[in-house]
Amino acid sequence: MTPPETRLRARFVIGPDAVHTDATVVVRDGSVATLRPAAPGDTDLGEVALAPGLINAHSHAFQRALRGRTEHLRAGREDEDFWSWRDLMYRTANALDPDDVEAVSRMAFLEMAKGGVTTVGEFHYLHHAPDGAPYADPNALAHRVVRAARDVGLRVALLRVLYHRAGPGRPAEALQRRFVDPDVDTALDRVDALAAHWRGDAAVSVGLAPHSVRAVPRGWLEAVARAAGDRVVHLHACEQRAELAQCAAEHGMSPVALIDACGLLGPRTTLVHATHLDDDAFARVARARPTIAACPGTERNLGDGFLPAAELLARRVPIALGSDGQADIDLFNEMRLVEYHERLRAERRNVLARAHGAWHPAPADGRLEVADLLWPMATTHGARSLGLPVGALAPGAPADLVALDLRHPRLAATTARTLLADLAFSAGPDCVRATWVAGRPVVVDGRHPAQEATLDAFRRVMRRLDAG
Ligand SMILES: [Zn+2]
């Protein structure tokens, strides 16, 4: 039950523009009513920082089943790379029945909730039976995934993938049949049916996700641009160098140039990864300002390369974050990796702070905090990517909140001034004391009520997969 009004008082509250000390968030009917100084009678949460819930803008929930199972070299396979990982991922994808998909998704979403995530953008491409035949309801697996997110308590943007082929002139391979729609009109009809099915749940939204320029032909990208309306569009772009060469051979241009030429590059679009951008692509994203979904944990797991984050931020291109392949689900870590990868590239410190002036007024003391650039990645930029009014404790926004434990050793002696830096550089999922979505408690005292049942169901699936 959602009480009509709660007044949550905290040692610190991260507001849209400042960190407030001893403040209260008033929640009414599931939304933030106001943020004000604490007053007697408010519900005192004690030594916590209250923040907007974190936004995981790019997830493939089922890939939680791969964790720990791909971190080895197979005998005779010294060439292990992204593509051989993808083959293992496909085999796992094809071993999951609908109950398994739901159980594994639930596990991933539970871990996100416990790590302070309140909204997930689920890039969903597992649609059909392993032989490619649609289920009685062609959206059956998407419904399972949305159901898993909602049962855990997360807000979910289901980014329904459109997938057609293995690559230029090559039909889908056997292990890709679960992802494939026969033509773009059928695919778009299925997206519409999915959105209509969930229209009654304000915490569910549906976006369009042409998988990549490798997996759909140009005509599909153009059809998506015509059909998108006010829906968000997500695509994998420029993750691997081989994709760039392939796109140049087929279209005579880079993936970003192609996406732009198809009318798909704009503020409602998210390019996932974007680890390999040429000068022309930089100019296009600087003009069109899509969101870039960075998944630095996954990008380094897969050997994708470095995101040129400093160059993007200097051009006022927003960066969101995703847990993507789920080898690790920790949005705090994803935040710092964006900066740390830039430090390793530049062999300097505090690299992203150089783009501070592109986003914030000059601070009076001249101190340019890197965290001022990192915190929006996990909050407001993620919300922009998913087209949702979340990510900030602003009046009228859904009351999606996270309470972070200031007594946790990681955060000991934090101050209003150092809080964002402490969160971005030193916090972890274990600092999360509580979360709320639309004012309803999801994680309470560090616990989720469905934790044991979720772990048991997940272990059963994994025992079977490991034995198979
Ligand atoms: Zn992905």
Q: How far is CA 155 from the centre of its chain?
A: 12
Query: How far is the C-alpha of 294 from the C-alpha of 446, rounded, in Å?
Result: 27
Ligand 1 centre distance from Cα of residue 213 (Å): 13
The 3-state DSSP class for residue 342 equals helix
Is residue 468 very low, low, confident or very high in pLDDT (cuts 50, 70, 90)?
confident
Amino acid at 226: R
Percentage of residues in the chain having pLDDT higher than 90: 93
Buried b (16+ CB within 10 A) or exposed e, 435-446: bbbbbbbbbeee
250 backbone dihedrals φ, ψ, rounded to 5°: -80, -45
Q: How far is CA 407 from CA 61, 93, 404, 425, 462, in A?
A: 31, 41, 9, 17, 35
Average pLDDT taken over every residue of the chain: 96
Among 71-85, 141-155, 157-171, the minimum mean pLDDT is found in 71-85
For 323-343, what is each residue's pLDDT tens digit? 999 999 999 999 999 999 999
Q: Where are the chain's structural domains?
A: 5-52+390-451
Cα angle: 282, vertex 283, 288; to 5 degrees: 100
Is residue 2 very low, low, confident or very high in pLDDT (cuts 50, 70, 90)?
low
Per-residue pLDDT at 1 exceeds 80: no
Strands 48-52 and 401-405: antiparallel
pLDDT of residue 132: 96
Ligand 1 centre distance from Cα of residue 239 (Å): 9
DSSP H/E element including 162: strand 155-162
CATH architecture, range 5-52+390-451: Roll (2.30)
Per-residue pLDDT at 211 exceeds 90: yes
Is residue 3 very low, low, confident or very high in pLDDT (cuts 50, 70, 90)?
low
Q: Residues with catalytic annotation?
A: 273, 324
Ligand 1 centre distance from Cα of residue 240 (Å): 12
Ligand 1 centre distance from Cα of residue 60 (Å): 6
19 CB-near residues (< 8 Å, 6+ apart) = 12, 13, 49, 416, 417, 419, 420
Ligand 1 centre distance from Cα of residue 383 (Å): 18
Ligand 1 centre distance from Cα of residue 211 (Å): 9
For 136, the token pair is: 């009685």
Per-residue pLDDT at 30 exceeds 90: yes
Ligand 1 centre distance from Cα of residue 27 (Å): 34
Query: How far is the C-alpha of 40 from the C-alpha of 158, rounded, in Å?
Result: 41
The 3-state DSSP class for residue 393 equals coil
For 49, the token pair is: 């920082």
Ligand 1 centre distance from Cα of residue 464 (Å): 25
Ligand 1 centre distance from Cα of residue 352 (Å): 24
Ligand 1 centre distance from Cα of residue 236 (Å): 6
Angle between helices 419-426 and 331-346 (to 10 degrees): 80
pLDDT of residue 361: 96
For 269-307, what is each residue's pLDDT tens digit? 999 999 889 999 999 999 999 999 999 999 999 988 999
372 backbone dihedrals φ, ψ, rounded to 5°: -65, -25
Ligand 1 centre distance from Cα of residue 322 (Å): 8
Ligand 1 centre distance from Cα of residue 1 (Å): 35
pLDDT of residue 344: 96
Mean pLDDT computed over 357-381: 97
The 3-state DSSP class for residue 14 equals strand
CA dihedral (35, 41, 43, 44) positive or negative = positive
Cα angle: 13, vertex 18, 22; to 5 degrees: 35
For 67-85, what is each residue's pLDDT tens digit? 999 998 888 888 888 888 8
Mean pLDDT computed over 108-122: 98
Percentage of residues in the chain having pLDDT higher than 70: 99
Ligand 1 centre distance from Cα of residue 458 (Å): 22
Is residue 241 very low, low, confident or very high in pLDDT (cuts 50, 70, 90)?
confident
The pTM for the full model equals 0.97
Query: How far is the C-alpha of 41 from the C-alpha of 179, rounded, in Å?
Result: 54
Mean pLDDT computed over 389-418: 98
Ligand 1 centre distance from Cα of residue 24 (Å): 37
213: which strand partners?
A: none
